[in-house]
Structure formats: structure tokens, C-alpha cells
Amino acid sequence: DAGVTQSPTHLIKTRGQQVTLRCSPKSGHDTVSWYQQALGQGPQFIFQYYEEEERQRGNFPDRFSGHQFPNYSSELNVNALLLGDSALYLCASSKLSGVTDTQYFGPGTRLTVL
């Protein structure tokens, strides 16, 4: 039973560029959440997708956008990259069941913006 997978593992971009990160949820899960973890900090919630729609959003600017596909996989897009966007981006999947479900995390994508 495959867990949550993310690609790529590492990425280096320059300021102003755009980036796309990808996530495949755990088998049987239909909800994907994205988190940003700056060095030495706890993860911060970016947004959550269910049924191909953004259901919840944290305090992140519109430069952060996402998408969920019919197979439940998801992408996180960040436009006009800033140095402060350098972080570990974590994807978590869960099964939406009307009550909170445990979120299982992938290994993350480490983004460096130069």
C-alpha cells in the first residue's frame, strides 16, 4: 500500500520564476492538504482540496494556487517566487468522512529560491 508521494524531492529556482509541485495521495484517500514548513518552524496550512475544489485556505497570497485531478492527485503552483518562499512543502492526504480524519504526510519537496 503506497503512502503519499511527492515530486520532485528538491528544486532550485530563482526569484520571479514559477514552480509546480506534485502530490499523489495514499490509496483510498480523496482529500489533499498542502503545508509550508520554513526552517525551524512548524508546518503552516496553505490549502485543502476535495472533489477537485479548494475547500479551505490558510493565510497565503494568491500567488499560491492549486489543483486537484479526478484521480485525487494534486499540484501546488507558486508564481513570482520570493526568497521567503524557500521552504519544505508538505502534502498530506486523508479520507473526508464528516469528522476530522488523520492526515498522512509525504516526504516533502524542498524548494530553494535564489
Partner 1 sequence: AQKVTQAQTEISVVEKEDVTLDCVYETRDTTYYLFWYKQPPSGELVFLIRRNSFDEQNEISGRYSWNFQKSTSSFNFTITASQVVDSAVYFCALSELIYNQGGKLIFGQGTELSVKP
Distance CA 99, CA 73 (A): 22
Between 2 and 99, CB nearer to partner 1: 99
With CB under 8 A as the contact rule, the residue among 21, 23, 90, 111 that binds partner 1 is 90
Question: Which residue is associated with the grid cell 524542498?
Answer: 110
Distance CA 37, CA 15 (A): 19
Give, as ranges, the residues between 26 and 65 that touch partner 1 (CB under 8 A).
31, 33, 35, 40-45, 48, 50, 55-56, 58
With CB under 8 A as the contact rule, the residue among 11, 60, 75, 96 that binds partner 1 is 96
CB atoms within 10 A of CB 102: 8
Residue 75 interacting with partner 1 (CB under 8 A) = no
Distance CA 14, CA 1 (A): 37
Strands 109-113 vs 10-13: parallel, antiparallel or unpaired: parallel
- Give the residues lining the site for partner 1 (CB under 8 A): 31, 33, 35, 40-45, 48, 50, 55-56, 58, 88, 90, 92, 94, 96, 98-108, 110
